[in-house]
Structure 1
Amino acid sequence: MSINPVAAASIIMLVLLFLKVPVFASVFAAAAAYFFLMPDLPQQIVVQRMLAGAESIPMLAIPFFVCAGTFMNYSGVTARVMQFCEVLTGRMTGGLAQVNVLLSTLMGGLSGSNLADAAMEAKMLVPEMEKRGFSKEFSSVVTACSAMITPLIPPGIAMIVYGSIANVSIGNLFIAGIGPGLLLCVTMMLLVSIISHKRNYKPLRTERMKASDFMRALKEAALPLCLPIIIIGGIRLGIFTPTEAGTVAIVYSLLLGVIYHELTMDSFIKGMKETIITTSGIMLIICAANAFAWVLTRERIPQMITELIVGLIDNKYIFLIAVNIFLLIVGMFIEGTAAMIVLVPLLAPIAAAYGIHEIQFAMTVIFNMAVGCITPPMGTLMFVTCGITKCKIKNFIIEARPFYVLLLVCLMLLTFVPIFSVGVLQLFGLA
């Protein structure tokens, strides 16, 4: 009995992922297995496709924005933005938990990396939250869940990956991401307020915010908060491309380091090392996933799945429900970047066939992949946060249950209420 090469490759990838083999190695093994079972194909194609995945011009934005975010952390930017968040949320029920959520939202426009955001806040905020009476579990959950906002707020790396794969304007994705990011920020702050009220978590202060305190904090945080405006404004005005915006972000972060006198030569070198390590991990996944995506394309898997689904489902809303369930399950087992590279070429044409707006579908996919970062067994944000805070995974999952419900509600809003995903684009007359 002959073995179907694609089926065999897919099974190999899933088995390796279940065995906790690194994602890039699992995906590469699947692509290599296909070529092994297809001896008539030149073996060098797999290497060529991997290199082609890394040579994409839009992908250059990834190391640029990772580098900019790293330098921001070493330039004293995070502390200044956090102080600004404390002033804004000081009287809210939940105190530092509210600061945690708002800081992730603002830092999402500076770093672009959810893992970097979670690690930074787990080190800076969680110990202080515990001192003020918050439980370790609640502090860890808020830190991990709020870091989900980062890939939604421009310049999220997930948007760069999606745009380059699906041939969707990265500039439009950046603008559209503001809506889902603010939706998650506001709803999460409301949930934090409800939980904090029940548990009697106190605000940071009881007196009204003084205008002088607000202006002082705003003055310190004003320059960093200008970066998202510069990036989006520059792209929309045609001054630079999304890739070139990454270099602008690096220059701007270095300039802030000089202005604040906090970026030393040692921290510069550390920042470069962190950039290389983080970018290497992302690009290894992209290269391997690109090779496997070529295999699927060669076997006409996207076309076959499109024909099958369109033939079985005649309603776009049922299709969207099915896609959400599928992506949530996939996100539990496969890293988001790899999943997008393999699945977006399959799903985006189907969504287009149903007349679903490309930006709306993009936001749905990116949000689903973000949810996967905090769900077991492969939740990267969950493991990074718990690894730093020493919170037990079991306790984390139990504490996170109301947040999982909130995320599902937000996902439904993004999926079925277009204003939350394309509303900002419509406001600018771009959709």
Structure 2
Amino acid sequence: MSVAVACIILLLCFLINLPIFLSVLVSLLIYFFMSGDISPLIAIQRIIGAGENVTLLAIPFFILLGNLLNYTGITRRMLKFTEVLSGHYPGGLAQSNVLLSTMMGGLSASNLADCAMLSKMLVPEMTKLGYGRAFSAAVTAAGSLITPIIPPGIALIIYGFVADVSIGKMFMAAIIPGLLCCVALMLTIYFLAKKRGYKPARSHGPTWCELWETGKGAFSALLLILVIIGGIRFGIFTPTEAGAVAVLFVIVIGTLFYREMSLKDIAASFLETARSTAGVMLIIMTCSALAWVLTNEQIAQNVAQTMTSISDNPYVFLLIVNAVLLILGMFIEGNAAIIVLVPLLMPTVKLLGIDPIHFGLVMILNLAIGCLTPPMGTVMFVATSITGVKITEFIREVLPLLAALILVLLMVTFIPALTTFLPGL
């Protein structure tokens, strides 16, 4: 009875738009005070204990890395490189937008930060070239969803922590799905641009001279991605150490080589990182305590029994999970959903013989897509608030891009090799 009341309170808090960590905390306290036989001190212990895991140290490092990039000039150089690569296609600047998000995914680790930055940087330029403002915002928002999928996305780290699987393998598994999302969005933009008459940003394809000149500017970013993924893959350092090395690398590049970063910029990045990390950690800590409550109440076992009673076919189970997660993603922040749902679903995943790494990518891709849809899609709100686009106009323009992402989701769901091939090498 107490857990049912707590869940109802949680939903009511979500409906009145209370912050996620506060909503979960309120429902937790109500549960512990109603249950009687469990001390409320356990709630405090579970909340504090969740934040003491060493694995989570990777999160502030990668958030700091994304913040530092705004001051180094790396992003601007990468944009020039992507324009040379894709600017000659129909909808050239929109193509560059998606390609830049894919490359930035290996650096910024946050879809909201990526969406906010590119909405300010590229949407005004796209509208000057004749693209509709709503279309420009939709492309920027859809492209930013690649960020939590491409390593080192924060969602990959959190899933690895909760599901107790290798974060390095999660990083490797995410590469192919992330690239598939990029290709699907670029193809969709190509056909939309041909239909609407959006012209290329360049009159000719890339020349070797242009690739060399712009590639030199983007080389530091490409090298950084190789350092992060390659270092983890070959066991040179852990994901946490990779984040620290990447931060040091960016500070050296920005201050000594590009000379565009000052001590004031570094201090501002640390302050922004402290705020962002506090928000993420509060969600992780409170939701970890909630996940313990749901497990303690035997809800995980009940979910497993219900799922297997419907069908013991793993693909039917994944279809049901897809439908549920796409709906939940519209209402619940992705990282919070991972922390709460993984302990509930993992017993069924193991029972049906589904690879936890494959399931993790399916889950993350589902929740990423949910960020793009109403009523509470966080990426949708960021894009529309910065660009001044009405939500109805945004939804109309984002539908074809959403369809492309769902197609990739189905491919990843039914072709496990797309996620297991690289980790299995």
TM-score band w.r.t. shorter chain: over 0.9
CA contact (8 A) 1:112 1:154 kept: yes
Cα distance in structure 2, aligned partners of 1:386 and 1:293 = 33
Equivalent residue in structure 2 for 1:38, among 35, 38, 51: 35
Q: What is the deviation of 1:177?
A: 0.6
* In structure 1, distance between residues paired with 2:233 and 2:209: 35
Task: Work out the CA distance in 1 between the residues paired with 2:99 and 2:212.
Answer: 18
| Equivalent residue, structure 2, for 1:157 | 154
Distance 2:290 2:356 in 1: 23
1:20 pairs, out of 17, 36, 44, with 17
Gaps of 5+ in 2: none
Q: Report SS of the residue matched to 1:206.
A: coil
CA distance in 2, matches of 1:419, 1:182: 14
Match of 2:190 in 1: 193
Q: Which residue is 2:365 aligned to?
A: 367
Question: Per-residue displacement from partner, 1:305-341 (whole Å, max 9, x unpaired)?
Answer: 1122223322111111101001111111111011110
**CA shift at 1:115, angstroms?**
0.7
Measure, in 2, the Cα distance between the counterparts of 1:301 and 1:208.
57
What secondary structure, in the 3-state scheme, does the structure 2 residue paired with 1:349 have? helix
- Deviations, residues 221-252 of structure 1 (Å, cap 9, x unaligned): 11111112111211122221111111111111
Q: Could you list the runs of 5+ residues in structure 1 that have no partner in the other structure?
A: none
| 1:343 lines up with 2:341 in the alignment | yes
Q: What is the letter of the counterpart of residue 203 of structure 1?
A: P
After superposition, where does 1:163-242 map in structure 2 within 5 Å? 163-242=160-239
The answer on 1:352 being equivalent to 2:350 is yes
The question of whether the paired residues in 1 share the 8 Å contact of 2:84 and 2:205 is answered with no
State how 1:219-368 maps to structure 2 within 5 Å. Answer: 219-258=216-255, 259-368=257-366
Letter in 1 for 2:10: M
1:377 to 352, 375, 378: 375
Tell me, yes or no, if the aligned pair for 1:289 and 1:341 is still in contact at 8 Å: yes
Q: Tell me, yes or no, if structure 1 residue 395 matches structure 2 residue 399.
A: no
Q: Quote the offset at 1:375 in angstroms.
A: 0.9
Shift, 1:269, TM fit: 1.6
> Residue 333 of structure 1 aligns to a residue in which SS?
coil
In the alignment, the residues of structure 1 paired with residue 231 and residue 406 of structure 2 have an alpha-carbon distance, to the nearest angstrom, of: 34
Matched, 1:413 2:411: yes
- Cross-structure match for 2:63: 66
The one-letter amino acid paired with 1:23 is I
Amino acid at match of 2:46: R
Distance 2:116 2:306 in 1: 42
The answer to which of 414-423 and 338-347 deviates more is: 414-423
SS where residue 332 of structure 1 aligns?
coil
Cα 1:64/1:94, change in 2 over 3 Å: same
Q: Contact 2:142 / 2:402 at 8 angstroms: preserved in 1?
A: no
Work out whether residues 183 and 420 of structure 1, in 8 Å CA contact, stay in contact via their aligned partners in 2. Answer: no
Aligned alpha-carbon RMSD (Å): 1.0
Q: Deviations over 1:329-358 (max 9, x none)?
A: 111111101111000111122111111111
Conserved? CA contact 1:173–1:359, under 8 Å: yes
Letter in 2 for 1:250: V
Report the alpha carbon displacement of residue 30 of structure 1 after superposing the two structures with TM: 1.4
Task: Using the TM superposition, give the Cα deviation of residue 28 of structure 1 relative to its aligned residue in structure 2, in angstroms.
Answer: 1.3
Shift, 1:264, TM fit: 0.8
1:419 Cα offset (Å): 2.6
Q: Deviations over 1:47-91 (max 9, x none)?
A: 111111111111110001000111112111100111110110121
Residue identity in the other structure for 1:46: A
Provide the C-alpha distance between the structure 2 equivalents of 1:131 and 1:378, rounded to a whole number of angstroms. 30
Q: Note the alpha carbon deviations across 1:80-114, whole angstroms, 9 max, x for none.
A: 11111011012111011001000000000011111
- DSSP 3-state at the match of 1:91: coil
1:145 Cα deviation after fit: 0.5
Conserved 8 A contact 1:179-1:422: no
Matched with 1:122 is: 119
Residue identity in the other structure for 1:56 = N
Give the whole-Å Cα distance in 2 for the aligned partners of 1:313 and 1:10: 27
Deviating more after overlay: 312-321 vs 367-376: 312-321
Kept in 2, the 8 Å contact 1:179–1:423? The answer is no
Aligned length: 424
Q: Which whole-Å CA distance do the structure 2 matches of 1:299 and 1:343 have between them?
A: 14
How far apart in 2 are the matches of 1:173 and 1:294?
A: 23
| Deviations 1:254-299 (CA, angstroms, capped at 9, x unpaired) | 1111211011122112111111111111111111101111111111
